[in-house]
Chains A and B, each alone.
Chain A
Amino acid sequence: MQSVNRSNQNKMRLVSSIWLAACILGSLPYLVTGYADSPVSAFFLSVSSFTTTGASLGSGLDGGLLLYYTTCQWLGGLAILVFLSSLLPSVDSDSKSGLDSSFAGRSFSEVIKSREGNMLFLIYVSISLIMFIVMVCLGHVPLEALELTLTVCSTGGLGGTAFSAIDAGIKGTGAICIASMILSTISFTVYARLIRRDLAYVKKNTELRAYACLLVSSTLLICAANRISGVIPDIWQSFRAAGFHAVSFSSTTGLTNGNINSWPAFSKAVLCMLSFFGASSVSTGSGIKLIRIIIAMKAIRRSFYRRIHPRVVMSLRINGKAISDDTVDQVMSFIIHYALLFLAGCFVFSFSAPDLETAFFSSSSLINNLGSGFGAVGAECGYDFLGPFGKLFGCFLMLAGRLEIYALMLPFSRDGRK
C-alpha cells in the first residue's frame, strides 16, 4: 500500500510543480512587454491563461500578446486533458466514476503511448483545426481566427478584449463559437466511444443527457426572462443571446457579447449556476462538473428514501453501473471543499471589491475559471482592483479550481507515513 500512496503523492506533486513552473515562466512576456505593472500582475495573467480562466486586468491585450495569451490557454486546456484524464485518474477517480475506466490506474507513460491518450490529444487538435478552417472560410483574418479558435477550444476567454472587436461582424462567427464551446464541454470520453462506434454508451450517458437538458432549459428560461423584462425586445435576438451566454458560461469560457450586466437578476443567477456546474468531466471546461452534481443529487435522493426506509441498502447507479460509497463520499467532500473555497474567496475579495455582488462574482468567476462575471468584474472590466494579495489569492483559486483542488492542497497536507 505504501508504494501506492507514494506514487499518488508524487503524481500530484509533479502536477502542481509543473503547473506552477509553467505559470511563473509564462508570466515573463507580460513583464517584458511592460503590459503588466508588477510581477504579481504578470503572474495573475499567466495563471489566468494557463488555467483557461481568461481573466484580465482591465485594458484589452493587443496583437502579439493576445496570441500568446490564447496559446497559453490552449496549452493549458491540453495539459488538463492529459493530466486529469491520464495522469490523475487513479487519484481523481470520482470525476470519471462510472464514466469510463479505460484510463484508470495506468501510469502516465502508458497512457501517453496508449490509444486512448492519443485519442484525447487527437480529438482536441481536430476540434481546434476544424474550427480554425471554418473560421478562415467564413472570411476571418487567419490571426483572428487562430486567436478565437485557441481561446474557444480551451474554454478560456478573451481576457478583456471585446468579442465584438474580434468577430469582425462576420455572420456565423457566433454560431461557430457556440458549436465549438459545446464540443469542448462534452466529456471527451464520449468522442472516444463514438470513434469506437459504441453508440449505446453515448445514448445512455447520464452526464451528456443532463448537459443537453440543462443547456436547453436554461437557454429558454434566460430568453424568456430577458424578453419579459424588456432588455432585449426582439425574441430571436433574445434567443441567440441567451444561447450564446448559456453555452459560454456553462463551458466556463466566459465570452460575452453585449452588456449582460443589465440583464435581469434571474438571468444572471441562472448563468452563475451554469458556470458552477455546467461542464462535463474529462473536458476542458472547469467548475464542479455535472457528474458530481448528478451523484450528489442521487445521494440526497437516497437519503430521503432512507429516512422512510432506514434498513434499505441502496447503491447509487450512474450509467447503469453501481458506484461505491467511497466515491460518493469523495464527491460530497469535493463539493463541500469547493463551497468553502468559494466563500473564502468572497471574504478575501471583499477587502477590495466595491460591493457584495462584485466580491461574489470575482470569487465564483475565478474558482470556476470563467473569467468574466457581473458587477465590477463584468465583461470587459478586469481584476486590477484586487490588489497584490487579492491577486495572489485569485491565482490560488484559479489553480485550485482547475486542478480539482486536491493537487494544490498537497503542500498543506502532512506526509501520510505514520
Chain B
Amino acid sequence: MVLNKKLVIKVLCAVMALVGFLMLIPCTVSLIYGETVSARAFAVCAVPMIAAGYAAFRLTKAPDTNALGLRDGFFIVASAWFVLSLLGSLPFMISGTIPNVFDAFFETASGFTTTGASILPGVEDLPKGMLFWRSFTHWVGGMGILVLTIAILPALGIGGQKIMRAETTGPSMDKMTFTFNDTARSLYLIYSAMTVIEVVLLLISGMDLYDSLVYTFGTVGTGGFATKNDGLAGYAVSSQIIIAVFMMLAGINFNLYYLCLNKKAGQALKDPELKCYLGITGGSTLFIMVMLIMSGQAAGIFDSFRLAYFQVTSILTTTGYSTFNFDLWPLPVKVVLMMLMFIGGCASSTGGGMKVIRVMMAFKIAWRGVQKRIHPSALAPVKIGGRIVPQDIMRSVSEFLILYLATLLFGTVLVSLEKVSLMTAFTSVLACFSNIGPGFEAVGPAMNFGFYSGATKLFLSVLMIAGRLELFTIFLMFTPAFWSKR
C-alpha cells in the first residue's frame, strides 16, 4: 500500500495538538470549580500533547506532494477517530474517574461519535470538569474533528474534499458548489451560532450556565450525555422544549442553513429530505401522543405532546436525551421509537443512523423492484423531489442499507454471547451503531452499558465509530484490498 506517510503523520499530529488545546477548556472549568485532581489530569494530558504534536508537526519533513490519495483520506479519518477516542479518554483514566481502559475508551468514543451511551451508573457525583469534557466531546465530534482541523488550519494545505466526504454524513446528491475551506468554515460558523443561541435561550429559561453549556453541547452535536441520572426530567418544561426544538434543528442538513444564509431560503424549504424529516417528526409525535393518552401514561394533551415531541426529536436525531423512561411506554410506541432509531437525522447533519434520505430511497428502491419485476424492460428511474437519482448513487445507497442491516445482525449475534436477553443485545447494537445512546430493556434510558465485558465494550466502541463515519471508512480498514499493493 502506498500511503502518503508524511502527510498522514502531519495531519494526525495536528489533530493531537488540537485535542490538547481543547482540553484546556475543561481544565479551566475544573479550576473554576476548584477540582484540582481533574484540573491536573487535564493539564498532564494537554501540555505534552500540544508540545509533542507541535514538535512532530514541525520535525516531519514537508511531504513530497500534498496530493491526497483515496486511501490516504480513508486512513487519516479512520485513524484520527481512534487516536482521538484514545487520547480523549486519558483524563478519565489519569484522574481515576473511570479507571478501566475499556470503560474510558467506550465513554470517550461514545462522546466523540455523539452517541451518548454511558457505562457510568450515576453521573451526579462526578467532578464537574470531567462531565464538561464528556459533553464537550459531543460538540467537537458533531461536526467532525478533521473538518475542524482543516477549518482552522488551512496551513495544512491539503485538499480537504476527500476527508470531508469521509467524515460528513449522508450521500451527497449534488457537488458542493463552494470551495472546500469555505464550506468547512461556514459549517462551523453556523454550528457555533446555533450553540450560542441555544445557550442564551437556556439561560433565559432558568438553567445555570454550566448546565446550559453541557446540554447545548449534547443537543447541537446530537450526543446525549447529561449531568443528571434521570436525564432532563427534573428541568423546567420551557428548557425541555428549547432543547427539543434545537435537537430537531441539529438534525437538519446544515447545507440548507448555508443556503438560507445565501438568501436562498425558498430553495432550502423545497428540499424533499427536509419535508420528509418534518413529516416523520410530526407523524410519529402525533402517533405517540395518541398512544400515551390512550394508555393513560400522560396527564393531558399538552403533557403528552411534550413527552412525545421531546422523545421523537431526541431519538430521530439520535441524541438520546429523555424526559421519561420510555422503556415503560406501550409496545407500539417502543417499536415506533426503534424505527426512528434506524432512520436518524438528515444527511450532512450532526445526527447518526441511516439518514432520512437513504430511508426515502429505500422505499423507492423497493418499489422500483416491483415495477421492474412486472415490466422488466421499463427504465423506472428512482426520483427524489422530481430529480432522477443517478444509478451509481442508488446502488451505493442500497449497498449501504444492506451492509447496515448485516452489521446490525452480525453485531447482535456477537453481543448476544453476553448473558443478556436477545432484545437487549439487539438494541445495544442498534443504539451504539446509530449513535443514539440508550436502547431498551437492560440498556434502557434508566440503565447503562457498564455490565458488558471489556471485549464487548471495545466492539461497541468500534461500532460507534463505524456508524459515525458511515460504515465504509472503518470497514475498509479490515479489507485486504485496502492494504494490498495495487
Contacts and interface: CB of A to CB of B under 8 A. Distances in A.
Contacts of A347: 332, 335-336, 339
Nearest to A329: B395
Interface string B413-430: 100111111111110000
A161 B236 CA distance: 57
Interface string A181-220: 0000000000000000000000000000000000000000
Contacts of B376: 4-5, 8, 91
Contacts of A239: none
Contact of B413 (A1, A273, A334, A339): A273
Interface in B454-486: 472, 475-476, 479, 481-482, 486
Interface in B325-344: 331-332, 334-336, 338-339, 342
Given A303-B396, A307-B476, A330-B369, A351 B401 contact: no
B260 interface: no
Interface residues on B, range: 35 or more
A305 B481 CA distance: 7
Question: Interface on chain B toward A: helix, strand, loop, or mixed SS?
Answer: helix
Contacts of A309: 486
A50 B4 CA distance: 62
Nearest to A355: B331
Interface stretch (B84-92, B196-204, B402-410): B402-410
A91 B406 CA distance: 27
A138 interface: no
Given A336-B365, A340-B366, A307 B375 contact: no
Interface residues of A, number: 63
Contacts of A351: 331-332
B403 A268 contact: no
B71 interface: yes
Nearest to B421: A265
A334 B425 CA distance: 26
A332 B398 contact: yes
B402 A333 contact: no
A336 B373 contact: no
B365 A333 contact: yes
10 contacts: A91-B376, A269-B413, A304-B476, A308-B482, A332-B399, A337-B366, A356-B440, A359-B331, A406-B373, A413-B370
Top 7 A-B pairs ranked by shortest CB distance? A333-B369, A337-B366, A265-B416, A332-B398, A350-B335, A416-B375, A406-B373
Interface of B: 70-71, 74, 331-332, 334-336, 338-339, 342, 362-363, 365-366, 368-378, 395-396, 398-399, 401-403, 405-406, 409, 412-413, 416-426, 440-441, 472, 475-476, 479, 481-482, 486
Interface of A: 1, 4-5, 8-9, 12, 91-92, 225, 229, 264-266, 268-270, 272-273, 296-297, 299-301, 303-305, 307-310, 325-326, 328-330, 332-337, 339-340, 343, 346-347, 350-351, 353-357, 359-360, 374, 405-406, 409-410, 412-413, 416
